[in-house]
Amino acid sequence: MNTTAKTIQMLLYDGDLSGVMYIEDTSWQIGAMFSSPRQSIDDLIEKADCKRYGVYLLLSDEQVYVGQARDLERRTRQHLTDKGWWNHIILMTTKDDSFNASDIDYLESKLIEKAKDVGTAYVDNLKNGNPQKVTAFREVVLGRYLEEALFLLKLIGVYVFEPIRRKRTTPPLPEGNLSVSDFVKTALINLLAAGYVFSDEQLKLYGSVEGSKEYTHRALPILWLLKEGETREDVKKKIRQRYWKDVFSSGTQRFLMFSQWFKDGTNYGAHKDDFIRWYGTL
């Protein structure tokens, strides 16, 4: 098998992989990648030349946002206030600031598309990026840039563009000719009976409208989180018939489950696939 050797260089400003990091390799040519925890953004901006065109990732354990900017420093600071959920950031740019607006539009769109296709993390992008306007020749160059960037992301432990490989703790989905409603409820009961506990990040994500609307297509959380001592009757006027009467528990959190996966206007049953996609993120 023919292989091409490469040299990867990683500058760990804080002396470990959890701090501010600069990465490049010989196969990437002009490419440059920076990684930083949220609390070290000032250090990142001080050490890296961020006033460049590029694309970036905002990351948490369950979620990713893909963005692009003509000035990565300005956009990075902006997201400290307009998005509170992320705890890590990756910047992807060039050593010579040779990207243009069409380049970063293309890269952003491709990364959003790939993240949504694999479904490893919830993608916090409402749109799929700007229209792609690059020549066939430039598309080849950017494709190679993207290929190497994805390799380096795996190297530093970022797997949002890879199919889920972690050990699954979720039981198989129900079999048999069940109605969509019975299918969803049985899947949830089996999940909780198997000892699955939603993480705080998952509860925050799927207990919100933003974290749910990709799957429910409605402005309603998948999980309606109940406060201590609160019952379904206490919130009945708010939720009406969109949640089952059952109160489910995961760890110390009690919640109601969105019930209308089966109802989509005249397209009956369309939401079963949405539930399966959501289940696959657990």
Give domain status of residue 151, yes or no. yes
Asked if residue 207 and residue 123 are part of one domain, the reply reads: no
Which of 122, 155, 188 marks a domain boundary? Answer: 155
Residue type present at position 237: K
Structure tokens at 281: 């993120």
Asked if residue 12 and residue 67 are part of one domain, the reply reads: yes
Asked if residue 261 and residue 129 are part of one domain, the reply reads: no
The count of domains in the chain is: 2
Asked if residue 237 and residue 145 are part of one domain, the reply reads: no
Q: Give the pLDDT of the chain (282 residues) as one tens digit per residue.
A: 456 788 899 999 988 888 999 999 888 888 999 999 999 999 998 888 788 999 999 999 888 999 999 999 999 999 999 888 999 999 999 999 999 999 999 999 999 999 888 877 888 887 787 777 889 999 999 999 999 999 999 999 898 898 765 444 688 899 878 888 889 999 999 998 888 888 888 888 899 988 887 788 788 899 999 988 888 888 887 777 788 888 998 888 899 999 888 654 444 445 788 888 889 888
Asked if residue 198 and residue 109 are part of one domain, the reply reads: no
Cα dist from 56 to 107, 119, 145, 149, 264, whole Å: 10, 18, 14, 11, 35
Distance CA 109, CA 282 (A): 25
Asked if residue 32 and residue 124 are part of one domain, the reply reads: yes
Give domain status of residue 2, yes or no. no
> Range of 247's domain?
180-279
Give domain status of residue 171, yes or no. no
CATH number, domain with residue 77: 3.40.1440.10
Would you say 62 and 164 are in contact if contact means Cβ atoms under 8 Å apart?
no
Asked if residue 148 and residue 189 are part of one domain, the reply reads: no
Distance CA 167, CA 227 (A): 31
Asked if residue 240 and residue 206 are part of one domain, the reply reads: yes
Whether the full predicted model's pTM is greater than 0.85, yes or no, is no
Give domain status of residue 191, yes or no. yes
- State residue 3's pLDDT score: 62
Give domain status of residue 32, yes or no. yes
Residue type present at position 245: K
Give domain status of residue 175, yes or no. no
Asked if residue 147 and residue 12 are part of one domain, the reply reads: yes
Asked if residue 89 and residue 46 are part of one domain, the reply reads: yes
- 3-class state of residue 132 by DSSP: coil
- State residue 262's pLDDT score: 64
